[in-house]
């Protein structure tokens, strides 16, 4: 709402007011994070984004220069390898990010859409990588595409997603799927900004859930809690 509390008359004004209400500047670009974010397990989300930036930058260079360059020149091999290993790193850190968020139940506190957008990013990233493997313009791509077509035909998608059609696969790989991944990542990050980074489980909740499990045991509850992802020691 504007300072005068008068609703905007134009659609642009209404969009602006809704955007500012959902994501005020101090939420959109915070300069402080909660104490519990000071943990290595919280760095894998931004590591995924950093990998994605490297992938897109190296992919742009590969697209500018073309297959003959990336197959037959030293610099082309270098950027081809940067692109490949960027993808390997992207999936590596994204899986660790996924595990971390799963074990801290990151959908808590109204963060369902954060979790769902993250899951969809993972699902969209897989065909983005696949279309890259079949777009290499070499025997490796030919082998992968001829193997993949049987699997895709068996589930009935071969008619409109033909992995042996280089033009179609290249379009998917350099435009459609990366655009989807980037759009989803933007939505994911904005949702994280809106709802905040998910906190670890409260110790008292953890204690209550463990009471029945360790009843009769000599193991102190505090000793059990000290090693969990929701404990203060582990998450900070």
Partner 1 sequence: MNPASVMGAIFNLNHPAHVVEWHFIQLSVANIVAIGLMILVFVLAIVLPFPGAARRRSGTSS
For residue 59, state whether it binds partner 1 (rule: CB under 8 A).
no
Give CA separation, 48 vs 89, 151, 198, in Å: 8, 29, 17
For residue 100, state whether it binds partner 1 (rule: CB under 8 A).
yes
Structure tokens at 232: 């203060």
For residue 73, state whether it binds partner 1 (rule: CB under 8 A).
no
For residue 35, state whether it binds partner 1 (rule: CB under 8 A).
yes
For residue 90, state whether it binds partner 1 (rule: CB under 8 A).
no
* 32 contacts: CB under 8 Å, gap ≥ 6: none
- For partner 1, the closer of residues 176 and 234 by Cβ is 234
Torsion of CA 134, 140, 142, 148, to 10 degrees: -60
CB under 8 A: which stretch of 74-82, 92-100, 125-133, 165-173 binds partner 1?
92-100
By the 10 Å C-beta count (0-12 exposed, 13-18 middle, 19+ buried), 180 is classed as: middle
Total residue count of the chain as it appears in this document: 236
CB of 191 to partner 1, least distance (A): 23
- For partner 1, the closer of residues 34 and 110 by Cβ is 34
For residue 122, state whether it binds partner 1 (rule: CB under 8 A).
no
- For partner 1, the closer of residues 2 and 40 by Cβ is 40
For residue 54, state whether it binds partner 1 (rule: CB under 8 A).
no
For residue 39, state whether it binds partner 1 (rule: CB under 8 A).
yes
Contact residue for partner 1 among 99, 109, 143, 151 (CB under 8 A) = 99
CB of 134 to partner 1, least distance (A): 19
CB under 8 A: which stretch of 20-28, 168-176, 177-185, 228-236 binds partner 1?
228-236
Burial letters for 7-37: b for 16+ Cβ neighbours within 10 Å, e otherwise?
A: eeeeeeeeeeeeeeeeeeeeeeeeeeeeebb
For residue 112, state whether it binds partner 1 (rule: CB under 8 A).
no
CB of 113 to partner 1, least distance (A): 25
Helices assigned H by DSSP within 104-225:
112-133, 139-154, 166-171, 177-195, 203-214, 221-225
Burial letters for 42-72: b for 16+ Cβ neighbours within 10 Å, e otherwise?
A: bebbebbbebbebbeebbebbeeeebebbee
Binding site for partner 1 (CB under 8 A): 35, 38-41, 43-44, 88, 92, 95-96, 99-100, 229, 232, 234, 236
């Amino acid at each position: 709402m504007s300072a005068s509390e008068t609703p905007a008359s134009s659609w642009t004004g209404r969009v602006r007011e809704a955007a500012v209400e959902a994501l005020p500047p101090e939420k959109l670009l915070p300069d402080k994070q909660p104490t519990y974010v000071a943990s290595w397990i919280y760095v894998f989300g931004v590591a995924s984004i950093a990998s994605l930036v490297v992938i897109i930058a190296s992919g742009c260079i590969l697209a500018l220069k073309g297959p003959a360059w990336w197959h037959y020149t030293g610099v082309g091999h270098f950027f081809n390898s940067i692109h490949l290993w960027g993808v390997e790193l992207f999936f590596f850190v994204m899986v660790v990010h996924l595990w971390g968020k799963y074990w801290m139940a990151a959908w808590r506190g109204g963060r369902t859409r954060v979790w769902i957008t993250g899951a969809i990013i993972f699902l969209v990233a897989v065909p983005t990588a696949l279309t890259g493997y079949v777009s290499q313009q070499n025997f490796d791509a030919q082998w992968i595409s001829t193997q993949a077509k049987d699997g895709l035909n068996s589930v009935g998608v071969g008619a409109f997603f033909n992995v042996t059609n280089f033009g179609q696969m290249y379009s998917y790989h350099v435009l459609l799927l990366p655009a989807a991944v980037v759009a989803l990542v933007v939505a994911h990050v904005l949702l994280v900004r809106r709802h905040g980074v998910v906190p670890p489980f409260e110790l008292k909740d953890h204690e209550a859930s463990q009471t029945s499990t360790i009843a009769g045991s000599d193991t102190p509850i505090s000793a059990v809690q000290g090693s969990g992802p929701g404990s203060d020691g582990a998450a900070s």
